[in-house]
Structure 1
Amino acid sequence: MSAWASGRVEVSGGHLAYHRTGGEGPALVLSHGLTDNGLCWRRLAQALAPEFDIIMLDARGHGQSSRAGDHDPAQDIAEAIEQLGLVRPIVMGHSVGARATAAYANAHPGRVSKVVLEDPPFLPLIDRAQADRRAVRFREQVETFQAMSLAELIAMGRAQSPLWHDDDFPAWAVAKHQTDPQAMPVYATPWQEILGQITAPTLLVHGDSAHGGLVTPQIAGEARALNPNITAVLVPGAGHNTRRENFPDYLAAVRDFLGPVG
């Protein structure tokens, strides 16, 4: 990690921070989940860095990026890719970052080479009252996290997530202190509408709903029916934090999908 570069790119009304591994391989843009930051991809980035030039974005309202506001996460990804001069990168995201990645790839067909979506929240829309209640719960959760020390957060994380690797916890804990309490997204567009125009090969990699995964077999089937470019892979024994809960099988699925480089 010592050789990784850090920087920021200007986007509409703010900026996004990023970390970049560098190298001669194809560009791979990673978008994290809610309350995470770009360095929460550290373990995966270390595994793939010899083959790819990996860019780990801090989403708005997270990490070192601008605070949350009236913005489109997919547009933020688009502007970051443009500012960095990336040509047809691979784009990949987890959770809300996966939804933003799908929306970006859908809005910009032909500008990505491949897409990887890790357990996106492909869920029914909720009404305003439900969204308001969810936002309150989220703010309270973030405030609770930010009242804890990093050591307390890591201890809690280890107790709640015994399948995670030790390397997963430091960035995860720091990210909780960096999260804007207003960062909870509200979706106005059904998830089905952000898949139909994706022309690049797309991997939907997800855990088991019995372990907390958001993508059920029914949702995976519907996604494949909506777009034949989508391949779905279930990672056994994992839930929503798919790569953290079964990293070997997750990495194998991603490597198999990305294929040989060069």
Structure 2
Amino acid sequence: MSEWQRAQIEINQHQISYLRTGGEKPPIILLHGFTEDSSTWDEVAKALAPNYDLIMPDTIGHGESSRLPADGAIDPLQDLTVFIDTLGLQKTAIIGHSMGAAIAAEFTAQNPEKVAALVLEEVPWFDPASPPEIPQKFLAANNPTVIKNLSGSNLQEALTYSQEHHPDWDETAHKAWAGSKIRFDAEWFQADWKPQTNWEEIAAQIACPTLIISGQAAYGGMLSAAVVIKLLKIIPGAEWSNIVGAGHFVHYDKPVPYIETVMEFLKRNYPVKKA
């Protein structure tokens, strides 16, 4: 990890910070979830970096990127579009978790020629006919009031909270979760951002190989089987992996099967070109 580089790109008068593993390898953009940042991918990146050039941006108001503007007006999708263009990426794979998965899906729908493969982990899409029931385990560990209080707090306080609410996580996950919370801009809760919610329209425009990863409701998973079944019918050739014992943070809860699943998918759909 010492050779990984952190840099910034100015987009719409704010700075987007990103971590890049580098090398002459196929690129993959990894997009974190709400209140997380690029550190969420530490364990995943260590596994993928030998074969891929991983690019992990911090969404505005997260990590080391700029804080929100005074008016709260933001557009993470537009930021991603400019970000990818600025880096000169003609084609890339994208892996997204939660909010990052939603942004990744919408970008892919609007720019099909730029995305070679897509991984959607616990994308926050719900069946309009069945109002979502947010799992109690997720709510208990991600209470907005607590998240606001942790924003700007000290690392030990956030670590203690993570260890109490996620006893099965390893130390890498605890440090990433806790660190991202103290770097998070709590003004995001009042942000002027309205993401596209008609996910069936978005999914209908996705044509690249797509892997959908979900957790289980009993452990805090939010992506229902009913929604996934619809997605499998809409997205040509889409694949689904429901990882046993994982909740909303699949890559934290079950990192080994998560990484194995993603690597196997990439091997078939976004292979490394041998010299």
Q: Normalising to structure 1: TM-score of the pair?
A: 0.90
Residue 164 of structure 1 corresponds to which residue in structure 2? Answer: 169
Contact 2:32/2:40 (8 A) holds in 1:
yes
Task: Give the match for residue 147 of structure 2.
Answer: 142
Range with greater deviation from structure 2 (92-101 or 140-149): 140-149
Q: Could you say which residue in structure 2 is the equivalent of 1:111?
A: 114
Alignment equivalent of 1:176, drawn from 173, 178, 181: 181
Amino acid at match of 2:101: A
Given the superposition, is the C-alpha separation of residues 122 and 147 from structure 1 closer, same or farther in structure 2, using an over 3 Å criterion?
A: same
Does residue 231 of structure 1 match 2:235? no
**Counterpart in the other structure of 1:40:** 40
Q: CA RMSD in A?
A: 2.0
1:202 aligns with 2:232: no
Could you say what secondary structure the match of 1:218 adopts? helix
Structure 1 residue 12: deviation in Å? Answer: 2.3
Aligned pair partner of 2:157 in 132, 152, 155: 152
CA distance in 2, matches of 1:162, 1:93: 24
Which residue is 1:97 aligned to? Answer: 100
1:217 equivalenced with 2:225 (yes/no): yes
After TM superposition, list the pairs within 5 Å mapping 1:8-157 onto structure 2.
8-68=8-68, 69-123=72-126, 140-146=145-151, 148-157=153-162
Q: Which amino acid aligns with 2:58?
A: D
The question of whether the paired residues in 1 share the 8 Å contact of 2:14 and 2:66 is answered with yes
For normalisation by structure 2, the TM-score amounts to: 0.86
Task: Find the aligned partners of 1:232 and 1:178 in 2 and give their Cα distance.
Answer: 33
* Distance (whole Å) between structure 1 residues aligned to residue 148 and residue 154 of structure 2: 12
- Taking the aligned partners of 1:209 and 1:223, their CA distance within structure 2 comes to 18
Query: For residue 272 of structure 2, what is the amino acid of its counterpart?
Result: V
- Any idea what SS the aligned residue of 1:61 has? coil
Identity among equivalent positions (%) equals 34
SS at match of 2:187: coil
- Which segment is superposed worse, 168-177 or 203-212? 168-177
Displacement after TM superposition at 1:52 (Å): 0.4
Unaligned runs of 5+ in 1: 126-136
The aligned amino acid for 1:110 is E
Unaligned runs of 5+ in 2: 129-141
Cα drift, residue 11 of structure 1: 1.8
Bigger Cα displacement from structure 2, 26-35 vs 188-197: 188-197
Amino acid at match of 1:174: G
Deviation at 1:92, TM superposition (A): 1.0
